[in-house]
Amino acid sequence: ETGVTQSPTHLIKTRGQQVTLRCSSQSGHNTVSWYQQALGQGPQFIFQYYREEENGRGNFPPRFSGLQFPNYSSELNVNALELDDSALYLCASSFGLAGFSTDTQYFGPGTRLTVL
Amino acid sequence: GNSVTQMEGPVTLSEEAFLTINCTYTATGYPSLFWYVQYPGEGLQLLLKATKADDKGSNKGFEATYRKETTSFHLEKGSVQVSDSAVYFCALSDDGSSNTGKLIFGQGTTLQVKP
């Protein structure tokens, strides 16, 4: 069974740039959630994708957007990067039915984004 | 809204000491409760979970009991090892206000175990 994988591991960008982070979900999972973890803090929910559609969103601006593909892998896109976007971005996969995903979420290793 | 509060760290213990990390929550409905662990430079690993009141989750010598009357889910281990040094996060699954089961995390508690 393959776990959740994320790429790249680390990324350095400058303010105003755009970034795309990628996530492959665990085998058998159809739901992907993205979280932002600032240094020294707990993760904060960004949004969730279920069967290629956004299924819920946290308190993040529209410049945070995502995609989910037919194989259930996912991308997180952040436009117009700000210094405060520097964080560890975590992807978690789970199994949901009809858009209800209350199953346990399994996390990937994360992508460390630094915005200069 | 729903929230999780953990005891502040760092918690520093000697090897073989008893560990308790306190976690309390505020939630509508009946959320599932989780403990995740994060080792340095890594993502989150599920440590244990409980889905209803009075359930006890356990794994690798760690355990926590879902206490609805005190809205708590304290993490305990009888004898810690140096390899248990990590950041521990308590979380609840926000089943009540959305259908995403999104996780709401506490701020994390750093555990340092000294030989």
Q: What is the pLDDT along chain A (116 residues), one digit of tens a residue?
A: 568 999 999 999 999 999 999 999 988 888 999 999 999 899 999 999 988 888 889 999 999 999 999 988 999 999 999 999 999 999 999 887 755 555 788 999 999 999 99
pLDDT computed for residue A77 by the predictor: 98
Q: What is the mean pLDDT of residues B3-7?
A: 93
User: Does B97 have pLDDT greater than 60?
Assistant: no
pLDDT tens, position by position, B11-70:
999 999 999 999 999 988 788 899 999 998 888 999 999 988 999 999 999 999 999 999
Q: Which of A37, A105, A106, A113 to mutate to test the interface with B (most CBs of B within 10 A)?
A: A105
Inter-chain contact B105–A42, Cβ cutoff 8 Å? yes
Q: Residue A109 and residue B106: Cβ atoms within 8 Å?
A: no
- Rounded Cα distance between A81 and B90, Å, is 30
Tens digit of pLDDT for each residue in B61-86? Answer: 999 999 999 999 999 999 999 999 99
A26 vs B: CB within 8 A: no
Give CA–CA dist B111/B108, Å, rounded: 10
What does the pLDDT read at residue B95?
Answer: 62
Q: Which pLDDT value is given to residue B38?
A: 94
Any A CB within 8 A of B10 CB? no
Give the strands of the sheet with B62-65, arranged side by side: B19-21, B75-77, B62-65, B56-59
User: What pLDDT is recorded for position A1?
Assistant: 57
pLDDT, residue A95, reads: 85
Inter-chain residue contact B101 with A109, CB threshold 8 Å: no
- Return the pLDDT at A98: 59
Q: How many CA atoms lie within 13 A of B58 on its CB side?
A: 7
Q: Are B63 and A5 in contact (CB under 8 A)?
A: no
- Inter-chain residue contact A43 with B103, CB threshold 8 Å: yes
B2: confidence class by pLDDT, cuts 50, 70, 90: confident
CB–CB of B103 and A103 under 8 A?
no
